[in-house]
C-alpha cells in the first residue's frame, strides 16, 4: 500500500518496474513494436504526402519519423519522461501531471518509462505520437491509425450484416414484444456489445468465427467466460425509467457510451444504442470518444461519422437501413458525439470530479453510463494492484457521477469484484486469464443518490 497524490492509502499502481509483469512486457516489447508500426505507416505514405503537399510533405514525413525514433529510443533506454512542447490545448494539464508524478516520486527516483505507473507512460506515448505529428504541418492532422481502423471495419462486414439482420428481427415486431422478449433482445445486444471489445478483428475476420459463426449465435458458448455479469441490474435501471415514462411521468432517459474501439466494436455500440432508442429505453444517447488518435484503434469523431456513413452506403438492405437510422438520430440531435481532453489524459477516473469538473457534471446528467473496454476499466479502477475480491465501488474510489457499467474483456492484469477464490482458481487453470481477452465482465455500480449532487436530483 502507498499514499497517492490525494493522501489516500491505496495499492501501488501497476508498473513496468515489476520485471516480468504484464506492464513490464508491454513497455519492453509491445509499445516499441507499436512505435515501429507508426514509423512504417508514415514512411509508406511518403508518396501520398508528396502528392498532397509536395516537398513540404516529404520534409514533414522525415521530421516526424525522426521525432518518433527519438521517442522510441527514450522509451527503450528508460529515459526520464519529458514535458510536452507542442503548446496544444492539453499540453498544460499533461505537464502538470508530470510534475505531480515527480512530486510523488520525491527525489529518490526519476519519472521514467520503466519506473512510473504503466497507465501514465502508456497514455504518454500516444500523446507524444500526437506531438510528433502535430509539430509537422502540413501533415499535422494525419491519423496514423486510420488504415487499421478502416480495414477492421471492412473485415467485419459479414458480422455487421448478421447483427443488422438480427436487429431487423426485433424491428419488425417491436410494437408487440413482451417484457421478457424485450429483455432477451436487450441481453443479447448488450453481450454482443461486450464481446465486441474482445478483439474486433477476431470476432469479425478471425479464422474461426468470422463468416461462419454469427456474433449472436456465439453468445451462449461465451457466457461461461463472463466472470461478473450484472446485466440484470443494467436492465432494471433502464426499464424502471421506461415504466415511469409510460406512467405519464415526464422522464427522458439519457444513456452515455464512453466509447472504446472503432471497427466492429463501434458497430456493436451503435446497435445497442439504436435498440435503446427503438425500444423506448432511452430518448437520447451521448457518445464520448477521443479527440485525437489513441491506443491504436480508439474512436475519434472522424471514425464515428465515417462508420455511420459506411454502414448507410453498404450494399445490404438491413445494414444500410440501420446506417440511415443512425444518421437520422445524429441529424435530429438525439445522438451526439462528444470529446473532452480528459479522455486522452492519463488520470484515473477518481480524479475527474476535481480535474475535469465540467465532464463530471455532464456525466451526472446521464441515467446510465456505459464504459467500454479495457483501458476504461483500468482508469475506473485506477490501474492498481487490487486484490481480486475488493469491491468494484471500493476500487472506484468515489467516482460515481451516475449509475455506471463497465463492459470489458480482460486485457490487463487488473480485476476486482470477484468471489473469494475465483481469482486463484482462474490463475491455476489459465495463467493468462487477465490478459488474453478471453474473459469478460459486465460490472455495474449505482452511486448512493442521497450523496449525489446531480442537478436532476435537486
DSSP 89: T
* Least distance in angstroms from the C-beta of 413 to ligand F6P: 9
Residue 383 as a binder of Mg ion (CB under 5 A): the answer is no
Residue of 26, 261, 268, 364 interacting with Mg ion (CB under 5 A): 261
Does residue 376 interact with Mg ion by CB under 5 A?
A: no
Question: What is the tally of helices (H) and strands (E) in the chain?
Answer: 20, 9
Report the residue number, 19 or 220, with the smaller CB distance to ligand F6P.
Answer: 19
Using CB under 6 A as the binding rule, whether residue 295 contacts ligand F6P is answered as: yes
Q: Distance between alpha carbon 281 and the CA centroid of its chain, in Å?
A: 23
Q: Which region, judged by CB under 5 A, interacts with Mg ion, from 180-188, 202-210, 257-265, 306-314?
A: 257-265
Contacts for 230 with CB less than 8 Å, ≥ 6 apart? 405, 442, 443, 444
- Cα separations (Å) of 122 from 31, 55, 126, 383? 8, 33, 7, 12
- Judged by CB under 6 A, the chain residues 43 through 62 that form the site for ligand F6P are none
Number of Cβ within 10 Å of residue 32's Cβ equals 16
Q: Which is nearer to ligand F6P, 26 or 253 (CB)?
A: 26
Taking the C-alpha atoms of residue 139 and residue 341, their distance in angstroms, rounded to an integer, is 21
Q: Which three cell numbers stand for residue 139?
A: 501533415
Instruction: Cite the DSSP H helix spans in 196-316.
Output: 200-205, 219-222, 231-246, 264-278, 301-312
For ligand F6P, what does the binding mask look like between residues 2 and 31, x meaning CB under 6 A? ------------------------x-----
Report phi then psi at 255, rounded to 5.
-110, 135
Tell me whether residue 266 or residue 418 sits nearer to ligand F6P (CB atom): 266
**Residue 411 touches which of Mg ion, ligand F6P, none (Cβ within 5-8 Å per kind):** ligand F6P
Considering only residues 275, 287, 295, 337, which one is a binding residue for Mg ion as defined by CB under 5 A?
295
Residue span binding ligand F6P (CB under 6 A) among the ranges 99-107, 268-276, 316-324, 367-375: 367-375
200 in contact with ligand F6P (CB under 6 A): no
Q: Should residue 200 be labelled a site residue for Mg ion when binding is judged by CB under 5 A?
A: no
The piece of 96-104, 273-281, 319-327, 372-380 that touches ligand F6P (CB under 6 A) is: 372-380
Q: Which grid cell sits at 74?
A: 527514450
Cα–Cα dist 230/368, whole Å? 13
| Contact (Cβ atoms closer than 8 angstroms) between residue 378 and residue 412 | yes
197 binds ligand F6P (CB under 6 A): yes
Interacting residue ranges for ligand F6P, rule: CB under 6 A: 26, 122, 197, 260-261, 295, 373-375, 378, 411-412
Interacting residue ranges for Mg ion, rule: CB under 5 A: 260-261, 295, 298
Amino acid at each position: 500500500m502507498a499514499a497517492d497524490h490525494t493522501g489516500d492509502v491505496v495499492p501501488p499502481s501497476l508498473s513496468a518496474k515489476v520485471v516480468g509483469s504484464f506492464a513490464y512486457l508491454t513497455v519492453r516489447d509491445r509499445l516499441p513494436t507499436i512505435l515501429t508500426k507508426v514509423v512504417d505507416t508514415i514512411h509508406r505514405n511518403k508518396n501520398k504526402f508528396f502528392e498532397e503537399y509536395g516537398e513540404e510533405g516529404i520534409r514533414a514525413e522525415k521530421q516526424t519519423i525522426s521525432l518518433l525514433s527519438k521517442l522510441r529510443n527514450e522509451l527503450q533506454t528508460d529515459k526520464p519522461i519529458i514535458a510536452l512542447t507542442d503548446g496544444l490545448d492539453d499540453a498544460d494539464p499533461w505537464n502538470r501531471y508530470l510534475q505531480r508524478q515527480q512530486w510523488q516520486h520525491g527525489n529518490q527516483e526519476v519519472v521514467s518509462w520503466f519506473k512510473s505507473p504503466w497507465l501514465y507512460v502508456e497514455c504518454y506515448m500516444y500523446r507524444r505520437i500526437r506531438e510528433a505529428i502535430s509539430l509537422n504541418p502540413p501533415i499535422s492532422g494525419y491519423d496514423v491509425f486510420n488504415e487499421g481502423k478502416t480495414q477492421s471495419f471492412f473485415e467485419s462486414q459479414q458480422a455487421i450484416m448478421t447483427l443488422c439482420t438480427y436487429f431487423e428481427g426485433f424491428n419488425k415486431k417491436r410494437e408487440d414484444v413482451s417484457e421478457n422478449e424485450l429483455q432477451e433482445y436487450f441481453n443479447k445486444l448488450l453481450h454482443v456489445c461486450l464481446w465486441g471489445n474482445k478483439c474486433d478483428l477476431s470476432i469479425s475476420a478471425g479464422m474461426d468465427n468470422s463468416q461462419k459463426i454469427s456474433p449472436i449465435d456465439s453468445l451462449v458458448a461465451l457466457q461461461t467466460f463472463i466472470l461478473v455479469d450484472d446485466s440484470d441490474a443494467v436492465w432494471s435501471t433502464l426499464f424502471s425509467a421506461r415504466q415511469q415514462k409510460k406512467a405519464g411521468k415526464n422522464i427522458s432517459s439519457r444513456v452515455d457510451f464512453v466509447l472504446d474501439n472503432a471497427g466492429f466494436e463501434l458497430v456493436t455500440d451503435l446497435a445497442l444504442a439504436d435498440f435503446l432508442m427503438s425500444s423506448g429505453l432511452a430518448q437520447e444517447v451521448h457518445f464520448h470518444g477521443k479527440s485525437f488518435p489513441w491506443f491504436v484503434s480508439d474512436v475519434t469523431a472522424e471514425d464515428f461519422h465515417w462508420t455511420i456513413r459506411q454502414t448507410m452506403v453498404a450494399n445490404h438492405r438491413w445494414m444500410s437501413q440501420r446506417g440511415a437510422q443512425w444518421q437520422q438520430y445524429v441529424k435530429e440531435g438525439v445522438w451526439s458525439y462528444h470529446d473532452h481532453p480528459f479522455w486522452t489524459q492519463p488520470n484515473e477516473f477518481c480524479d475527474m470530479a476535481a480535474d475535469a469538473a465540467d465532464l463530471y457534471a455532464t456525466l451526472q446528467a446521464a441515467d446510465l453510463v456505459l464504459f467500454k473496454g479495457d483501458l476504461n476499466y483500468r482508469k475506473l479502477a485506477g490501474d492498481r494492484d487490487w486484490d481480486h475480491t475488493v469491491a468494484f465501488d471500493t476500487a472506484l474510489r468515489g467516482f460515481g457521477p451516475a449509475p455506471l457499467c463497465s463492459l470489458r474483456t480482460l486485457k490487463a492484469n487488473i480485476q476486482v469484484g470477484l468471489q473469494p477464490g475465483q481469482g486463484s482458481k482462474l490463475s491455476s487453470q489459465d495463467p493468462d486469464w487477465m490478459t488474453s481477452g478471453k474473459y469478460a465482465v459486465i460490472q455495474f455500480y449505482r452511486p448512493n443518490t442521497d450523496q449525489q449532487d446531480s442537478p436532476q436530483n435537486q
